[in-house]
Copies of this chain bind each other. A is one copy, B any other.
Amino acid sequence: MTPADQPRRRGRPAAPLLSQEKITRAAVELIKVRGYAALTMAALARQLGVAPSALYNHVNSKRQLLLWIQDHVNREIDCSDFGARPWDEALESWAHSYRDAYARYSPLVPVIAVTPIAGSPHTVAMYEQVAAGLRAGGWPDDQIVDVVVAVESFILGSAMDAAAPDDIFDVPSAQAPVLAEVVGARVGRDAARAAFELGLATVLAGLRDRFNALGG
């Protein structure tokens, strides 16, 4: 039923083919299926069944598209433990979720690391919850941002490391005997994850030290 008080011009209906939602979903799909390098404006338009120039009626630039994707990815990150559990446990589960999300989208890391968050609602909501959780946990206001940035730096560095090939440190033992030996001494399958777990445990232990020293 077409309401009489919504007059229509002659010709085809006004419903646009594209939207931020559709474009973002198509872009994420494209990255998942064919990899980040395949995300070109032309390929994206093709996936959406429009001409490349049509995209520019909805998005200002490829960079803005990357920010839409960032906000979409950040939506997946679980920060629900902040406010519900002790700050260190919340930080731990958040770090895991955050690292795993960007291990799948590692080419986005350099973009998000330098982009103001203001235009990304889900991203802002995430940081708000993290900041509120740390404050409620007893952290002083003037250290909270530094703590978050420090932990995030480790997370994003680890997400990039997760994209590295397994043989990144392989080297002839004649050239670097000690390095070759300790690389060989690593056990287990997912080396990047092992390093992340060791690092995260280390960071959390250091933060607990710092937190306990606050009162004195």
Contact = CB atoms under 8 A, between A and B. Distances in A.
A114 B163 contact: yes
Interface in A126-147: 127-128, 131-132, 135, 141-147
Copies in the complex: 2
Given A168-B116, A203-B206, A141 B176 contact: no
A168 B205 contact: no
A186 B145 contact: yes
A155 interface: yes
A27 interface: no
Which of A107, A191, A199 counts the most B-chain CB atoms under 10 A from its CB? A199
A166 B63 CA distance: 19
Contacts of A114: 160, 163-165, 168
Chain A contact residues: helix, strand, loop or mixed: helix
Interface stretch (A2-10, A44-52, A71-79, A177-185): A177-185
Nearest to A113: B160
Interface in A184-202: 185-187, 191-192, 194-196, 198-199, 201-202
Contact of A116 (B147, B158, B167): B167
Contact of A118 (B154, B171, B186): B171
Contacts of A179: 124, 127-128, 131
B198 A147 contact: yes
A64 interface: no
A58 interface: no
A82 to B, nearest CB: 11
22 contacts: A109-B160, A113-B160, A114-B163, A116-B165, A116-B167, A125-B176, A128-B179, A131-B176, A145-B169, A145-B183, A146-B194, A146-B195, A146-B199, A149-B191, A150-B158, A151-B199, A152-B157, A153-B158, A154-B203, A156-B157, A205-B206, A206-B209
Interface of A: 106-107, 109-110, 113-118, 121, 124-125, 127-128, 131-132, 135, 141-147, 149-158, 160-161, 163-165, 167-172, 175-179, 181-183, 185-187, 191-192, 194-196, 198-199, 201-207, 209-210
